[in-house]
Amino acid sequence: MIAKTKYIPDGKKELKELPILHYLDANFLYYPVTSARCPEGETCVRGGQFVKIGEVIGTRKGAFFEQPMHATVSGEVVGYEKRVDQSGKVVDCLIVKNDKKYNFHASIKDRSEAEINALTKEDFVTIVKDAGLVGLGGSAFPTYIKLESNDPINIVIANGVECEPYLIADYSVMMNYPHEVIEGLIYAMKASGAPKGIIAIKKKYTEIAERLNFSLKQYSGHDIKVVKVGNYYPQGWELEMIKNAVGIKIPQGELLSKYGVLNFNVSTLQSIFNAVKKRLPVLERLFTISGNGIHNSSFRARIGTQIPDLIELAGGYKNVEIPKVLILGGPMMGVNVTRDDIVMTHTSTSLIVLNEEILIEEPCIHCASCVYSCPVSIQPTQIMNAYKVKDKDALKMLQVNKCIECGLCSFVCPSKIHLTEYMRLGKRYASK
C-alpha cells in the first residue's frame, strides 16, 4: 500500500527459542585461502604438517592489507579442495583433519590485567591485526584499519541492532557473553582514546538492556551506556544507527572517524576481547539454519565447519520436490548460493532456505511505495525507468550511487518488480 514501510516480519522469536547445539568436532575443517575482500592468498603449511589451535596457516592478501588465517582445531593438514565461501564464490580451501585433541598453540596464553593496562594504541592495532579480526557484522572490513585512524575519537559505538529478519547471532552474543562485549568495548575505547562508549540495541530487546545494564555495574569506572534505538529496518545500517543513537548526522561516503565516531559490531567487540585477553583468533560462531524449506536449528560451530554437516544434524531439507532458494546472511541483503557445500567463515551467521515462490512482475503503477520507503531518499521507480532507457545523465541526477541495496524497494512493491536489481544494474551502468 502507499505508505512508508519500516517493519518487516522478522521471525526471530521462534529462532531465539531454539536450543543451541554445540557442533565443535567436525572431522575435517576447511579454510578458504581467499575471501571477497582478499582476492589473493597463500598458505604457509605443507600437507602432513601438524597444526595447533591458533596457529597461523596462511595469509590472505587484500588491496591494502593482509590478513592471517588461523587453524581452529589441532590436526594434520591434508590438502586442498574447492568449496563455496560466504560471498557465494567457489574458492580453494585448505583442509585440516581434526585430531580431536584441541591442543592450543604455544602463543595462546592469557594476558594479565597489568599487561593489558600497559598496552598502547600501537599494541592494540598489532594484536587485532595479528588475530586477523574483521567486521563480523558481514562487511568483513579489517578491524585494525578502523582502530588505526589518527582522527580524535570521542565515542565508540557497539552496534547490536541486527535489523535483518531471521538473524540472532548478535542477540545471542549479547545475551550470553555481555561481559566479553563490554570488555571488548573498553579495549576499543582504550585503543582509540575515546572517553565514551555506547551499546546500541533495539527498543524491543528489554531483556538485553537489563542484562547489559546489570553487567555494566561492574565497570562503573567507564562511561558506557546502553542506548535503545528503533525496531525498524534498516536501523542497523551504521549511519542510521549513529543518527538515532548519538544524534550525529554523517553524510554517505564520509569516514566515521572524521566525525569522532567509531562503530563496531558487538560480535567484533567480543572477538577483540578474545584477541586481547586470551590471544585467540575467532574460533567459533553461532550459526542459525532457518527458513520454511528446512528444519530450523541453531549451532555453535567452529570456523571452517562444513555447512552440509550442520544441515544433516538439523534434520535436512523439507519438501525436497520444491525448488529452494539458499541464502547466506539475512533475507534482505544476503548472498544467494546455488550449492550447499558451503564452508563457515568469520562472517557466516545464518543459512536461510526458502521454498521458491514464483513472482510475476506487473507493470509499475507509480504508487511510490518504494520512494516513500527508501532510507536514503532516492526514487527507485524513476531510476528503473531511467535504466530501461539507458539514460546515464538521469541516473546520475537521481543519485543512484547513494543506494545501499537494503532491498526495501523490492520488498514493498505491490507489482512485485525487482527494483533492487534495477538499482544494481543502474549503479553499474552509471559508473561505466
Partner 1 sequence: MQAIKQTSPYVRKLVSTKRMMIDVLIALIPVVVFSIYRFGWNSVIRLVVSLVIMIGLEALVIGMTAKPKKTDITFKEKLKTKYSTYTINNITAPAVSAVIFAMLMPPKLPIYAVAVGAIFAIVVVKMMFGGLGGNIFNVAAAGRRFISLALTGMFAGVYVGVDAIAGATPLSALKNGMQLPALLNSYPISDLIMGNIPGTMGEINAIAILIGLAYLLIRRTADYRLVVSTVSTFLILMILIGVKVYPDQWFEFVLYNLFSGGLLFGVAFMVTDPVTAPVTRPGRWLYGLLIGSLIVLIRTFGAYAEGVAAGLLFANMFVPLIDYPKWSTNKIRPRFLIGYAVILVIMCLIVYFGAGGVVL
User: Which positions lie near partner 1, rule CB under 8 A?
Assistant: 1-3, 5, 8, 165, 317, 320, 323-327, 331-340, 352, 354, 356-357, 359-360, 362-369, 371-372, 374, 377-379, 381-382, 386, 394, 397-398, 405, 407-408, 410-416, 418, 420-421, 424
**CB-nearer residue toward partner 1: 166 or 264:** 166
Closest distance to partner 1 from the beta carbon of 109 (Å) = 43
3-state secondary structure of 156: strand
CA distance 35 to 28: 20
407 in the Ramachandran plot: left (φ > 0), alpha (ψ -120 to 50) or beta? left
Radius of gyration of the chain (CA): 22
- Give the alpha-carbon dihedral of 35, 41, 47, 52, to 10 degrees: -70
| β-pairing verdict for 90-98 and 284-290 | unpaired
Closest distance to partner 1 from the beta carbon of 73 (Å) = 29
Across-strand partners of 225? 198
CA distance 136 to 147: 15
DSSP assignments along 83-114, one per residue = EE-TTS-EEEEEEEEE-S--PBPTT--PPPHH
257 in the Ramachandran plot: left (φ > 0), alpha (ψ -120 to 50) or beta? alpha
CA distance 295 to 285: 20
| β-pairing verdict for 261-265 and 66-70 | unpaired
Strands of the 40-43 sheet, one edge to the other: 40-43, 56-61, 66-70
Using CA of residue 108, residue 220, residue 170, residue 172, what is the dihedral sign?
Answer: positive
3-state secondary structure of 130: helix
Q: Cell for 337?
A: 548460493
CA distance 123 to 235: 33
Q: Cell for 361?
A: 512482475
How many residues are listed for the chain in this entry? 432
